[in-house]
Amino acid sequence: MVDYKVKMFENKKIIMQWLGESILKWVIYLLMFYSFVEHDNFLTIIFLILIFIITLIFNILRKRCIIFNIFKKDNAREAMILPYIGMVLCTLFAAYARYKMIEKNVFYVIFIILSLCYMFWQYKKFIES
């Protein structure tokens, strides 16, 4: 019985870590795309640098085993390909929104849908591992 409670507590910590990382990255990506669509190139570059630094910090913390590595090794390739495909699609639609080929609201809806799909896929892979 005690082992079950310890395992549940560890799972809650891991889920909270995953949720915190996902929300932090999502907010920064949203701010970056907002500044891109609104023609603020300086803030866009600042947010890109911030995304790089945060990703680097999380990777260092994972390698030093300070935070839990959520994905198994065999899922690493899939875990890297999907965000890049999503970023390419989001950048494409953001460019269309920036130059008024589509409405800005359409871009934000597409961004939220892609983000939620990726988070759902990531959570599903996390539960399987």
pLDDT value of position 14:
79
Tens digits of per-residue pLDDT, 64-87? 877 777 766 555 555 566 666 777
pLDDT band at 7 (very low <50, low <70, confident <90, very high): low
* DSSP for residue 64: T
Phi, psi of 57 (to 5 degrees): -65, -45
Pair of tokens at residue 118? 């990726």
Residue 72: predicted pLDDT:
60
Q: Considering the entire predicted model, what is its pTM?
A: 0.73
Q: What is the CA radius of gyration of the chain?
A: 17
Domain limits for position 107? 2-128
Contacts 24+ apart (CB under 8 A), 74-81: 75/125, 75/129, 78/125, 79/122, 79/125
The count of domains in the chain is: 1
Which of 9-18, 72-81, 95-104 is predicted least confidently?
72-81
| pLDDT tens figures, 108-124 | 888 888 888 888 877 77
